[in-house]
Amino acid sequence: MFFNSIDFAVFLPVVFAIYWFTQRYGLLYQNIVLLSASYIFYGWWDWKFLSLITISIVSDYFIAHKIHNESVKHKRKKWLWLSLFINLGMLAIFKYFNFFVDNFVEAFQFFGANINSVSLKIILPVGISFYTFQTLSYTIDIYREKIKPSNNFIAFASFVSFFPQLVAGPIERASHLLPQFSILHKFDYHKAVDGSRQILWGMFKKVVIADNCAEYVNVIFAQSDQLSGFILVLGAIFFGIQIYCDFSGYSDIAIGTARLFGFDLKQNFAFPYFSRNVGEFWRRWHISLTSWFRDYLYIPLGGSRSNTIRNIFIIFIVSGFWHGANWTFFMWGLTNALFFLPSILMKQNRKYLDVVAQGKYLPSPKEVILMLTTFGLISFSWIFFRAENLSHALLYVHNIFTIDFFNHSFIPPDINIFKYALTLFFILVLLIIEWLQRHKQHGLELKNNQITNWAIYLSLTSAIFLFGGGEHQFIYFQF
């Protein structure tokens, strides 16, 4: 079930009503409502997917207890390996099996050996990378004795399958989210209002900006061998805006929806395009995944204490492959590692921990240059992320520099100019609002008077209905 579908528009109020109605019957009933709702939400795509998430829930629930109850270290480790094997095994089969087999066959063919390819006709279960990482962090944290296992199966199952963040995050830690399933939630007016605003802001970003940008991106990337360098650069920038609005829009809707039920999810995007270097960008982009890799991969590898450069490359490349089984993601990760490296080597990666232009309305010229440079580098790396395959990406980059930079118009081909101008206007609106709100959790955290607020709500809603784009799928659902 997509957040931007009529199904969800019916589903959410129904679950909301039932959930708060069951408050009087206690915590168990609240959790049962959430668990049932999450299963319906997830099964809406394909009920067969439910078996995978059930395997994850059941296995990790019991393995966590085994790890906790076991005092012998190597036995604890065996149970952890079992959890890793089950979770990563499912991920490997459903997400990476065909990729590795194809590459294996190609490698053999390169050396003259012909072997028959075996490929599985399987579809990638929606959100498998997200909930796999969420449950993995649970068993690893128990192994590390940071948390204790849950004794409440329903609460644990609700935590793993919590529908607002099930299919595209934020990837929550058990230490933060699981305890919230152990307290009876009482309706909090301010939380619900703020959640509703965040949902509205997320919808605006997704439907009005991301979906409109998608139309131009699709045209530009499909005709990248015929367009001018300028249009290709524009295509990369549009994709940068599209993926930000698509994914952060999803996160806003997820966090806002969770708040309607009294839950707090962690901020997943902190206005990343206002970053002054790539290091800052990665502290502000997809925060739940970046911090996951930091805590469960980078630090165990030695972090910045030993082999820093190797560790940086490893986490960026693994992060690339986490997004998908394609060499384009590998290159995307590699490019980001290369861009990140200078700030590590010059010890600048933790230089910008504050919000840009703190306490000022406008950034300084230096800050503008730094932000534009960072945005430029990140947009360049998005070319690899968006391209169909590696040769397409390389050709795209090659064409930026070889095809006459201004040999076409400044406008992508086959588009409605008025709609294009309107999209640029909405991007400007986004930029202004997010700049003004950059100290806050989301773009619509308002403290205006009631009339201004209502005007904003109605304007955004009207824009969503009247000017929404044609693309509907969330990009990150495929991961």
Partner 1 sequence: MKKFLIKILIFALLFGLSNLVFLKLIQKYDWNFSKLMEMDAFEDREFDCLIIGNSLAFDGFDMTQFEENGINAYNCAIAGASIKTNLIQLENYLNQNKAPKFIIHGLSSYRNTDFNSEIVFPAVDYLYVDSKLSYRELPMIKFKWMGAELLKKVVSKDHRNAKIYRGQLRTVKMIPDKSQLPKNLLTQIDLGRYENAIYLASIDSICLEHNIKLISIEMPAYFECQNAAPIGPIYYKNSNGIKRSFYNLNNVEFCKLFNPTSDWLGDSHLNLYGSQKFTKYLFDNKIVSY
Helical H segments across 22-127, by residue range: 27-43, 49-69, 73-91, 97-110
CA 323 – CA 213 distance, rounded (Å): 21
- CB within 8 Å of 25: residues ≥ 6 apart: none
CB of 13 to partner 1, least distance (A): 9
CB of 216 to partner 1, least distance (A): 16
Q: 304: which 2 tokens?
A: 């910045």
Reference 323, options 165, 206, 169; nearest CA is 169
- Give residue 255's identity as a one-letter amino acid code: I
Q: Looking at beta carbons only, is 13 or 376 nearer to partner 1?
A: 13
Tell me the CA distances in angstroms from 409 to 187, 227, 460, one per residue in order. 55, 9, 31
Reference 244, options 299, 280, 281, 219; nearest CA is 281
Where does this chain bind partner 1 (CB under 8 A)? 6, 9, 20, 187, 189, 192-193, 196, 418-419, 422, 454, 457-458, 461-462, 465-468
CA 165 – CA 306 distance, rounded (Å): 35
Other CB atoms within a 10 A radius of the CB of residue 362 amount to: 9
Q: 140: which 2 tokens?
A: 């690893």
Reference 137, options 289, 287, 314, 267; nearest CA is 289
Q: Looking at beta carbons only, is 364 or 452 nearer to partner 1?
A: 452
Q: 422: which 2 tokens?
A: 């309107």
CB of 388 to partner 1, least distance (A): 27
Q: Which of 323, 398, 439, 442 is catalytic?
A: 323
CA 120 – CA 82 distance, rounded (Å): 24
Evaluate whether 300 touches 309 at the Cβ level (below 8 Å).
no
Q: Looking at beta carbons only, is 65 or 408 nearer to partner 1?
A: 408
The answer to whether the peptide bond before residue 365 is cis (omega within 30 degrees of 0) is no
Q: Looking at beta carbons only, is 47 or 465 nearer to partner 1?
A: 465
Reference 380, options 343, 414, 338; nearest CA is 338
Q: Looking at beta carbons only, is 151 or 459 nearer to partner 1?
A: 459
CB of 312 to partner 1, least distance (A): 46
CB of 261 to partner 1, least distance (A): 13
Q: 112: which 2 tokens?
A: 């003259």
Phi, psi of 381 (to 5 degrees): -70, -25
Q: Looking at beta carbons only, is 80 or 427 nearer to partner 1?
A: 427
Phi, psi of 461 (to 5 degrees): -65, -45
Evaluate whether 461 touches 455 at the Cβ level (below 8 Å).
no
Evaluate whether 138 touches 62 at the Cβ level (below 8 Å).
no
Task: Please say if 472 is a catalytic residue.
Answer: no
Q: 3: which 2 tokens?
A: 């957040």
The answer to whether the peptide bond before residue 300 is cis (omega within 30 degrees of 0) is no
463 sits in which H/E element: helix 450-467
Reference 261, options 10, 5, 8, 22; nearest CA is 22
DSSP string for 227-244: S-HHHHHHHHHHHHHHHH
Q: Looking at beta carbons only, is 389 or 462 nearer to partner 1?
A: 462
DSSP letter for 124, please: P
- Three-state DSSP at 305 gives coil
Q: Looking at beta carbons only, is 13 or 26 nearer to partner 1?
A: 13
Q: Looking at beta carbons only, is 206 or 323 nearer to partner 1?
A: 206
**What residues are annotated to the active site?**
323
